[in-house]
């Protein structure tokens, strides 16, 4: 069985500051890992995903995440936050033939 833990339900940063959203997973088999973002009144949008290959994954809007097997982590980062990054972010895990398992989400606030 898989599970996801997102550390921190709310993260606040200043515009221009580093964004770090933490995600730890549990999986008995090699995982596929995802980050999704939900802006107000919109659906879930895929930011990036890791399936196999390079462990540093680049996504849309300047976000990236690094798969660290030894730490069972897949933290999401962005060097410089923009006001438009304010949203809720979800980490998710799955394997070859199973449904997505989501974390509880982290709301990112960006102040000017």
Partner 1 sequence: EAGVTQFPSHSVIEKGQTVTLRCDPISGHDNLYWYRRVMGKEIKFLLHFVKESKQDESGMPNNRFLAERTGGTYSTLKVQPAELEDSGVYFCASSQVGPTEYYYGYTFGSGTRLTVV
Q: Which residues are near partner 1 by CB under 8 A?
A: 4, 32, 34, 36, 41-46, 49, 51, 90, 92, 94, 96-105
Residue corresponding to tokens 């995903």: 49
Nearest-approach distance from CB 96 to partner 1, in angstroms: 5
The angle at the Cα of 28, spanning 96 to 26, to the nearest 5 degrees, equals: 100
Nearest-approach distance from CB 16 to partner 1, in angstroms: 30
Residue 29 carries which DSSP code?
S
Nearest-approach distance from CB 79 to partner 1, in angstroms: 25
Nearest-approach distance from CB 78 to partner 1, in angstroms: 21
Nearer to partner 1, 3 or 14 (CB): 3
Retrieve residue 69's tokens.
């097997």
Q: What is the dihedral of CA 21, 26, 27, 28, to 10 degrees?
A: 150
Nearer to partner 1, 14 or 98 (CB): 98
Q: By C-alpha distance, which of 13, 24, 39 is closest to 111? A: 13
CB 72 within 8 A of CB 100: no
């Amino acid at each position: 069985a898989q599970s996801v833990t997102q550390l921190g339900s709310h993260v606040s940063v200043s515009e221009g500051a580093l964004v770090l959203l933490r995600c730890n997973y549990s999986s008995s088999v090699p995982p596929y890992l995802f980050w999704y973002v939900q802006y107000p009144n919109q659906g879930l949008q895929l930011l990036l995903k890791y399936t196999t290959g390079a462990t540093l994954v680049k996504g849309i809007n300047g976000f990236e995440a690094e798969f660290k097997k030894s730490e069972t982590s897949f933290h999401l980062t962005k060097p410089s936050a923009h006001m438009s990054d304010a949203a809720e972010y979800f980490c998710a895990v799955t394997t070859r033939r199973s449904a997505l398992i989501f974390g509880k989400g982290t709301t990112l606030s960006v102040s000017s």
